[in-house]
Amino acid sequence: MEKRLSDALIEEHHADTPAFPKREEARSIELFYDLFFVANLTSFTTVHPIDDKQTIMSYIGFFAILWFTWLQVVLFDVRFGVDSLFERVAKLIHFGVMTTFAIVGTRFDPSRHGKAYVTLRQLSMVMIISRILLVCQYGSVMLWVKRYRKITTPLAIHMAVFAAGAVVCLGFFFTFISYASGQAYVVWYIIIVLEAMAVFIVSSYWRTVSFKQTNLNERCGLLTLIILGEGIIVLTKSMNYLVEGENFSRSIIAQIISAVLIIYSVYMLYFDQTSRPPPNPILHHSWALVHFPFHAALVLLMEGTSRFITWRNALEIVDHILNQYSTIWDQSPNSTLTLSRQLGSFSTEILKSVDADPVKYNVTGYLTDISYASDPNSEQVTTAAFQVVIVLVDATLKFFKIEAAQNPNASLARHLQVVVVVVVVI
């Protein structure tokens, strides 16, 4: 590190102002750090499906903590990152922080009663470690440039900001001792926003630590590209359900094409306009900050597109079940035995197409009740036939991992909320 920083200080504008090296592209270790960020999102999405307003708010809350932690590491790397033993150890700790976020994130749900405060305490400790590490990194830079007066002050302010953030998080670590104090987690979001604002304000006032001629714009673009790639992975998983469901209809193919066009359109709209960072420092900082809502919306868009394809395919199979049930019923007006056999054959076909266990979704009892009934129009036959349909629909929804709510009105309200959010995001 001494050699690299000494080389960086050779070119001087003034006797008390060092010139740090220009960074035009990201290093491999920085891209590796971005992968840890996306792995967190994948892990959190897998454990916390986004299916109602509460889960969306929880997802955005965790994403905010994760994204602003990533941002602070990037803001250091693009200005002062060097290839040294200290920086590699620091990066290893940052990897550990991201990994711990992934572990703790599986239980992140601030609205959950009971032991929610335990998870909040763990997250507070992870944030403390992250902020202390940033203090050490900025401190190491100040140690090597301490003879340059115009840069020690902004570096000291950076250290003070993150030290204050660590102290506040430590205070909340002891605050999260019961569910009654669980609402204090809102202050987290105030802290992470103030930290980012402080760094940008300091860099605007002291141009020696500004983001001019850094690769901040590239780092934001690379994360966008990685998030798009993760969205493609999520989309292909939905396609796997389509293949397993053996129902490649024209509407499903059209939805897949539409999803690909959405991803490609986002790619073109973003990267065709971001070749160069805004020349004005304030615009440059604002451009970096607006990536937070953009990335959050992008993640929700990718997940929503995948879920919509899955939901649409499930509805097609359910519609096929209902139509076929109606056809079988019309074709067997006088024979309960024929009705039982046709329903049995159709049930076997559906259960096989959705890879359902015939033992778990057993319709033999209902078919037996139908075959032994004397009157095909009796309540016994109608009830048993309807139960067969319910079993097939339930197996289909379970195959696509769709939960059916107990309260239909509540279910409708939740789905309407989700639809509204998804439409706004798109």
φ, ψ of residue 146 to 5 degrees: the values are: -65, -20
Q: What is the mean pLDDT of the chain?
A: 79
Per-residue model confidence as pLDDT tens digits over 262-286: 889 888 888 887 666 666 778 888 8
pLDDT for the residue 319: 86
User: How large is the average pLDDT for residues 403-413?
Assistant: 50
Question: 130 or 53: which carries more pLDDT confidence?
Answer: 130
pLDDT for the residue 91: 92
pLDDT for the residue 94: 93
User: How large is the average pLDDT for residues 366-378?
Assistant: 76
CA angle in degrees (0–180, nearest 5) for 419-409-238: 40
pLDDT for the residue 178: 57
In whole angstroms, what is the distance from residue 301 CA to residue 423 CA?
9
Question: 405 or 139: which carries more pLDDT confidence?
Answer: 139
Q: How confident is the model at residue 139 (pLDDT cuts 50, 70, 90)?
A: very high
pLDDT for the residue 130: 93
User: How large is the average pLDDT for residues 364-368?
Assistant: 80
Q: How confident is the model at residue 38 (pLDDT cuts 50, 70, 90)?
A: confident
In whole angstroms, what is the distance from residue 272 CA to residue 288 CA?
17
In whole angstroms, what is the distance from residue 142 CA to residue 224 CA?
32
In whole angstroms, what is the distance from residue 169 CA to residue 228 CA?
32
User: How large is the average pLDDT for residues 353-368?
Assistant: 78
pLDDT for the residue 415: 46
Residue 408 has pLDDT above 90, yes or no: no
In whole angstroms, what is the distance from residue 426 CA to residue 424 CA?
6
CB 192 within 8 A of CB 69: yes
User: How large is the average pLDDT for residues 375-397?
Assistant: 82
Lowest-confidence segment of 74-83, 113-122, 250-259, 306-315 by average pLDDT: 113-122
pLDDT for the residue 401: 77
Residue 292 has pLDDT above 90, yes or no: yes
User: How large is the average pLDDT for residues 351-364?
Assistant: 78
pLDDT for the residue 426: 41
Percent of the chain past pLDDT 70, that is, above it, reads 80
User: How large is the average pLDDT for residues 377-406?
Assistant: 79
In whole angstroms, what is the distance from residue 24 CA to residue 309 CA?
40
In whole angstroms, what is the distance from residue 397 CA to residue 318 CA?
9
Which of 44-53, 251-260, 294-303 has the highest average model confidence (pLDDT)? 294-303
In whole angstroms, what is the distance from residue 201 CA to residue 285 CA?
9
3-state class (DSSP) for residue 20: coil
In whole angstroms, what is the distance from residue 224 CA to residue 77 CA?
18
Q: Which residues pair with 17 in a beta bridge?
A: 14
Q: Give the distance from CA 34 to its chain's centroid.
A: 14
In whole angstroms, what is the distance from residue 172 CA to residue 61 CA?
17
Q: Which residues pair with 14 in a beta bridge?
A: 17
In whole angstroms, what is the distance from residue 377 CA to residue 288 CA?
68
Residue 11 has pLDDT above 60, yes or no: no
In whole angstroms, what is the distance from residue 224 CA to residue 159 CA?
29
Question: 292 or 231: which carries more pLDDT confidence?
Answer: 292
Residue 297 has pLDDT above 70, yes or no: yes
DSSP tally for the chain: helices H, then strands E? 15, 2
Question: 370 or 277: which carries more pLDDT confidence?
Answer: 370
**Side-chain half-sphere CA neighbours of 230 within 13 A:** 25
